[in-house]
Structure 1
Amino acid sequence: MLYLEDIKIGDRFISREYEMTLAEIKQFAQAYDPQPFHTDEALAAEHPIFQGIAASGWHTAAVTMRLWTECFPIANGLIGSETSVRWPRPTRPGDKIHVEVEIVAITPSRSKPDRAIVTYITQALNQTQDVVYISTTKIVVFKKETS
């Protein structure tokens, strides 16, 4: 587990790959984002933007979260305080995505000396290195407890 003392600006973390299957894309969409371009191959093929099945952006975000927790093991968890998200390209069935995280700022708390706000940029990339998700996120990271 990583504490505040273990990270610095410029540190990078890279996850394993995760394959987005058609069945999983449809299952997630049916439960959480039931739009035809996520659930119906025939209708998705006629969509003017997607032109085929695309994973829900929230599905891509959820998978990204899973991969974050595996490659960026912050002590006490990834406690978010702010994020901005973009999906520059759709995630497709068969895409193998991985996550790359880079620490871009560390701002110590003025009122609580045991923590800081750590800002990082995350990119989820597919097998051809196309970015399918990008976010800038701020989390609370604690110092190691001293005895």
Structure 2
Amino acid sequence: MLYLEDLKIGDRFISRDYEMTLEEIKQFASLYDPQPFHLDEEKASKHPIFKGIAASGWHTSAVTMRLWTECFPVAGGLIGSDSNLRWPRPTRPGDKIHVEVEIASITLSKTKPDRGIVSYITQALNQYGDVLLISTTKIVVFKRHPEM
């Protein structure tokens, strides 16, 4: 597990690959984002932006969260305090996603000596290196030794 003292600006973490299947894309969409370009290949193929079936951005985000938790094991969990999120390119069936995380800043709390705020940039990329998701996130990270 990683504590605040273990992190420094520029640290990078890279996840394993995760393959998005057509079945999973449709299942997620049917439960949480039931739009034709996530559910119906024929309608999706005629969509002026997607031009084919695409995973919900929220599905890509959920997979990214899973991969974060595996490759960035922060003590106490990934407790978010702020996030800015973009999906510059659709996630497609068969895409093998991996996540790259880079620590951008670390700010010690002025009022709570046992923690700080860590800001990091995340990119979810497919097997071709295309960025499917990019976010800047701030999380609360606890110190191993609060007196330090």
Task: Tell me the TM-score normalized by structure 2.
Answer: 0.98
Within-5 A mapping of 1:37-48: 37-48=37-48
DSSP 3-state at the match of 2:62:
helix
Q: Which amino acid aligns with 1:13?
A: F
State the identity %. 78
Distance in 1, Cα, partners of 2:76 & 2:29: 31
Structure 1 unmatched runs, 5+: none
Query: What amino acid does structure 1 have at the position aligned with 2:72?
Result: F
Name the residue aligned to 1:24.
24
The runs of 5 or more residues in structure 2 that have no matched partner are none
Residue 13 of structure 1 corresponds to: 13
CA–CA separation in structure 2 for the residues paired with 1:101 and 1:113: 25
2 CA distance for matches of 1:106 and 1:12?
14
Q: Partner of 1:86 in structure 2? A: 86
Contact 2:114/2:146 (<8 A) preserved: no
Deviation of 1:145 (Å): 3.8
Aligned residues: 147
Instruction: List, as ranges, runs of 4+ consecutive aligned residues in structure 1 with deviation greater than 2 Å.
Output: none
Matched position secondary structure for 2:59: helix
CA RMSD of aligned residues (A): 1.0
1:74 maps to what in 2?
74
Q: Secondary structure at the match of 2:132?
A: strand
Equivalent in the alignment of 2:105: 105
Aligned to 1:116: 116
